[in-house]
Amino acid sequence: MQKHKNIFFYCGLLMLFSEVWKQWCLTYILNNGHYNWWYFPFQLCSIPMYICLILPWIRSPQIYDAFLTFLMDFGMLGGIFAFCDTSGMYYHYPPLTIHSFAWHVLLIILGLYAGFTISKSISIQNYLKSAGIYLICCVIATIWNLLFHPYGNINMFYISPYYVMAQKVFCKLALILGNNAGIAIYIASTLFGAWIFHCIWIFLKRGLKISVNSLF
């Protein structure tokens, strides 16, 4: 298990250093030295970085498996669906565009690695715990959005009530049902999408008996 933790940690360090570089480029190359809170790294696709960095210090198997489940369900969901609408991945500074695409590819790789190396059989309880992590992040993002809205553009997890829902499909629902309803449907759909991924993993692990543990 420690070997797997180390791999996640090194990936986390790579993501951290690249994120610091990204923030520097956004601030000093694209925004004339002014920090734009819109790009603060607290989005669904940012959370795997923090998880990878803390995994080596997680001693509880239950918490460890919950974090791995987040990577293989929610992390992969974010990584894959980012490529369904790549408009937000392009920057006026080409290296940042490359970084954005590489980041989301890495999310997919981390999700696959987490799914194949999780120590126990994949259970509904693991999903519920990872969903709890996601919802806690949503609460933190909402508090952040409400508190810091007066100080600049900020839309963590893209669920700020101050901004019209901009995600594809959900933006149309928000226009019909209202923005708050659109946000609620977006959160519920993310939970459902992660559950679909979880069911696929259950099929793979139980039906095909796939495990990378025997390969390392």
Phi-psi region of 28 (alpha: psi -120 to 50; beta: other; left: phi over 0): alpha
Could you report the per-residue pLDDT of 78-134, keeping only the tens digit for each?
999 999 999 999 999 999 999 999 999 999 999 999 999 986 668 899 999 999 999
Check pLDDT > 70 for residue 210. no
Name the band, by pLDDT with cuts 50, 70 and 90, for residue 215. Answer: very low
Task: Answer whether residue 56 shows pLDDT above 90.
Answer: yes
Q: Which CA distances in Å does 89 have to 70, 99, 101, 182, 195?
A: 23, 9, 7, 23, 25
Which contacts of 204-210 are long-range, i.e. CB under 8 A and separated by 24 or more positions?
204/115, 205/115, 205/121, 205/122, 206/121, 206/122, 210/116
Which residues contact residue 125 at a Cβ distance below 8 angstroms, ignoring those fewer than 6 apart?
Answer: none
Q: Where are the domains of the chain?
A: 2-215
Run of H or E including 141: helix 124-148
pLDDT at 156 over 80: yes
Instruction: Provide the terminal-to-terminal Cα distance of the chain, rounded to the nearest Å.
Output: 11
Q: What is the mean predicted confidence (pLDDT) over 31-41?
A: 95
Match 């520097």 to its residue by tokens: 24
pLDDT of 128 reads 97
DSSP conformation class of 95: H
Percentage of the chain exceeding pLDDT 70 = 94
Calpha distance 190→98 (Å, rounded): 26
Closest C-alpha among 212, 46, 65 to residue 144: 46
pLDDT at 205: 81
Distance CA 160, CA 149 (A): 9
How far is the CA of 31 from the CAs of 22, 37, 73, 161, in angstroms?
Answer: 12, 12, 34, 25
Q: CA dihedral defined by 32, 35, 37, 43, rounded to 10 degrees?
A: 90
pTM: 0.93
pLDDT reading at 168 higher than 90: no
Buried b / exposed e across 115-141, counting CB within 10 Å, b at 16+?
Answer: bbbbeeebeeebbebbbebbeebbeeb
Mean pLDDT of 37-55: 97
Residue 21: pLDDT band (50, 70, 90) is very high
The residue with greater pLDDT, 206 or 150, is 150
